[in-house]
Structure 1
Amino acid sequence: MTDDKDNVIHVSFKGVGGRIEAPRPAVIEEEEPERKDDPLSDLYSIGEVAKLFDLSVGRLRYWDRTGFLSPSATHGSRRYYNFQDLVGIRAAKGLIERGVKLTEVRRALEALRDSLPRVIRPLSELRVVAEGSRVVIRDRGAKYEPITGQLLIDFEVNGIADDVVKKLRVEPRSRDRASAYEFYLEGCRLDEDEATFDRAEAAYKRALELDPSLANAVTNLGNLAYRRGRSEEARAYYTRALEIDPDQPEALYNLGFLALELGNAERAVELFERAIASDPSFADAHFNLALAHEELGDPRSAKRHWREYLSLEPTGAWAEIARRHLDAAEG
């Protein structure tokens, strides 16, 4: 946890029990990756990939969890898909839609990863085609190692880049995006002082007018609403932020805290777990997940997250509170 003036959650304890009081929502501390003009060099969130290939976020999470197809790039503590990942997803989707068994698709993807060039530019010149019973990769007549496959997939890799532009880049011009980010930073500067809440809100809303995909600004509007005592409005903003970025840990955490505040510990557990899946180092989420497990009478799970919290935040007042809970659970 942070120092008292920056607390994300406020907890009042009696003995070893605890009750949540007036939580301060999680604030966005990590910048999103800078958008590249070249789709082949860019990074893509799970929400963007879902939109690009008309897949559910749940399906992509399942593929990641099972090791089938996972995002291979990172920015800060967040994971993103790179363009090579998009090629694999496009190939997998094509094979699955044609009835190829998942085990065979997995083998095909492993060979595809080995076949793709490691540099970006030649990647755009590839075509994935069927040759007899095999799926091969061609590069203007030069053949890469074949990938196992039974049915046809035929697409130009560069076509994925075209789809990125059509489906994901119907967005602000780079100048508008830069201006949006400036307004977002202005909102961050103003939202710490109640006297400037109105100006902060105006700055965030202006940022979203220029760039509706700026999920961080939506979450911070939710934070402002919460601090003004408008919990339902805050919930709506956090939900909207997740529609833009389904894995944003702060919005997931804040919804979890609202659920815990209302006594819905089961829903809180689900949301805190999703926040931690998105950012395993999110100490506050571990803290409150432990509290939620205690509310549900599950001390074993609570102990695991008290320990995890203490491994991330070993000192300070909140660490002492966590130790008291852990000692009580183990006593």
Structure 2
Amino acid sequence: MPEVTSSVPARAVSMRELQGILGVSRSTLSGLVAAGFVTPTRGPRNAWRFTFQDAVLLRTALQLRAARITPRKIIAALSRLRKALPDELPLTGIRVSAVGNDVAVRSGPSQWDAVTGQLLLDFEVAEIKGDVVFLDTAPARRSGERQAEEWYELGEVLRASDVTGAEQAYRKAIELSPRPFYAAYVDLGVLLCELEARCDDALEIFDEALIHFSSDAVLHFNRAIALEDLGRFEDAERSYQRSLEIDPTHADAHHNLAILLERRGDPQGLVRHLNAYRRLTT
């Protein structure tokens, strides 16, 4: 299958946005900046502004630190890695790992020491202990399931800052997974449904997912939302009803269906499902 060739454009993000992307506290990020792992610019009111490249480097620093790599080696590795990262970061790119007490970077078929720049032999790859960054060239010999997981993780990171990149990553996860990738289907469909102009695309994703997961209440619920946003109210009602047939305790499905039935002139349906929603949430 062809590789995705689009790239993620550079974009400055705030400290708060970066906290959400990396899942760490403000004090942790401030400490990493103070340690010299990245040098963000200053924006309005002197607030720090981070690039996506900074996010990659900080994610790498956090996970190398968790792998007990010394700060000196982390800073040296990031200094070299920073030069290897383009301003516009490709979705397929670089994998950084801890190899014993050293830091290895894989780009394409090659693996090199992040501090010295020396190429490492293939047999050393087996000694890698844990992936530490979400960008990966996905070598052919690695399992499709692992590749798909990494693309899914990339989508989770990108959805807070770049919708296009997240969509591409989720689609790549679905494409590469040897089994239907439930979470990637759900998150891609929700992502597209949040964009008013992409509800048709979201519906296609949910319909495709339901081929594999026909008895999943969440998928039928999300499909109903997409149909409702498209103005297909009768179809939306059927999808909400199907969701509730599968899971009668799905409170949000009761709530949404109650509102939809009120719009469709069914006051009895409104009361019935609104009462069910209240019972489940009180």
TM-score by length of 2: 0.44
Normalised TM-score (structure 1): 0.38
Q: RCO (CA 8 Å, sep 6+): is it higher in 1 or 2?
A: 1
